[in-house]
Amino acid sequence: MATPRVCVLRAPGTNCDPETAHAFELCGAQAERVHLLRVLENPGLLADFQVLCIPGGFSYGDDIGAGVIFSSHLRGQLADAIGEFLTADKLCLGICNGFQVLLKSGILPGGAEGLATHEEAGRDATLTWNDNGQYTSLWVRLATLNPNNVFLRGIDDFEVPIAHAEGRLVVKDPAILETWKANGQIAVCYRPVDGDVSSDPQQWLTTEIGYPDNPNGAFANIAGLSDPTGRVLGLMPHPERFIHATQHPEWTRRKLRGEGAGLKLFRNAVEYFG
């Protein structure tokens, strides 16, 4: 298997880069934590990597909104380099703050085309304050809506933790849901923790789910989006925080052993280049 190189792109305030890099390395990748300033000085650095990951944290302190400053660099000075990366046969992952960055830069849900045409961050959709107005940290259950996304292959249903204050997906026009469904751009959605595993996951887009199953009040219970190619994924929950079974709060009660469910996303990315 080829050893893909992963750029874990961090900025001032990012704080989940070590564990994110570790998750990729456990799956056989060569992960490097790269400061945004290095890439701004030399955008050509991105060409050396096969995977770009923007991890969680609070880039630039979320001072003027979560991911706003970081995203301005991607669609500004780095637009050409990021556009070339996205049009190549490469992968891009945004987790929590990283999802906020990808969405507000236009990379999600439109991919390279969205980056090129995104005149204003959050034009069709954005991530804003949770319904409860508070930073919220708990475990959620997700259903996969786009199994063709590279990161989600072979994953139907999984549990992961969330930890955010601005994770509620809102849209300008609810009709966008049909476009996203047609293009396979809805990646994962929140579902009841105690719901029937065999049920059709599409139902959770139209079923009203309250707190804590939908922890932030997201539109259509959406927790993550994909680009049309299936090579870009952004999600609010943290898969890098469930790479070992013992990280689950009920691991002893459920007698969990081995890997955590989140590790599969990183392994899928590495195996894509195998």
Predicted local confidence at residue 95, as pLDDT: 98
Q: Give the other-Cβ count within 10 Å of 27's Cβ.
A: 20
pLDDT band at residue 122 under the 50/70/90 scheme:
very low
129-149 residue pLDDT tens = 999 999 999 999 999 999 999
Higher pLDDT, 260 or 196: 260
Nearest Cα to Cα of residue 190 among 141, 154, 145 = 141
Using one digit for the tens of pLDDT, what is the confidence trace for 26-77?
999 999 999 999 999 999 999 999 999 999 999 999 988 899 999 999 999 9
Instruction: Name the burial class of residue 168, with classes exposed (0-12), middle (13-18) and buried (19+) by CB atoms within 10 angstroms of its CB.
Output: buried
List 164's β-bridge partners, or say none.
Answer: 136
> Which of 91, 15, 110 is CA-nearest to residue 50?
91
- How much is the pLDDT for 112? 85
Q: Residue 115 above 90 pLDDT?
A: no
Determine the pLDDT at residue 63.
86
pLDDT at position 202 over 70: yes
Catalytic annotation, residues: 96, 238, 240
Which is nearest to 218 in space by CA: 231, 205, 227? Answer: 205
Residue 81 host element (H or E):
helix 79-87
Considering only CA atoms, which of 85, 93, 145 is closest in space to residue 115?
A: 85
CA distance 193 to 258: 21
Across the chain, what does the average pLDDT equal? 94
Are residues 241 and 20 in contact, defined by beta-carbon separation less than 8 angstroms?
no
For 149, phi then psi, to 5°, come to -65, 135
pTM score: 0.96
Residue partners of 180: CB distance under 8 A and separation at least 6 = 109, 186, 225
CA R_g for the chain = 17
Among 116-125, 143-152, 243-252, which is the least confidently predicted range? Answer: 116-125
* The pLDDT of residue 1: 60
Given this model, what pLDDT does residue 165 score?
Answer: 97
Position 200 confidence tier, pLDDT thresholds 50, 70, 90:
confident
Instruction: Please give the single-letter amino acid code of residue 37.
Output: L
Q: How far is CA 58 from CA 16, 122, 166, in A?
A: 9, 18, 11
pLDDT in tens, 203-248: 999 999 999 999 999 999 999 999 999 999 999 999 999 999 999 9
Position 121 scores a pLDDT of: 43
The third-level CATH classification (topology) of the domain covering 5-271 is Rossmann fold (3.40.50)
Residue % of the chain over a pLDDT of 70? 97
Section 251-258 average pLDDT: 96
From residue 192, give the alpha-carbon distance in Å to each of 40, 208, 214, 240.
Answer: 42, 10, 8, 21
pLDDT at 120 over 60: no
| 51-54/5-10 β-pairing | parallel
Q: Are 19 and 240 in contact (CB under 8 A)?
A: yes
State residue 68's pLDDT score: 93
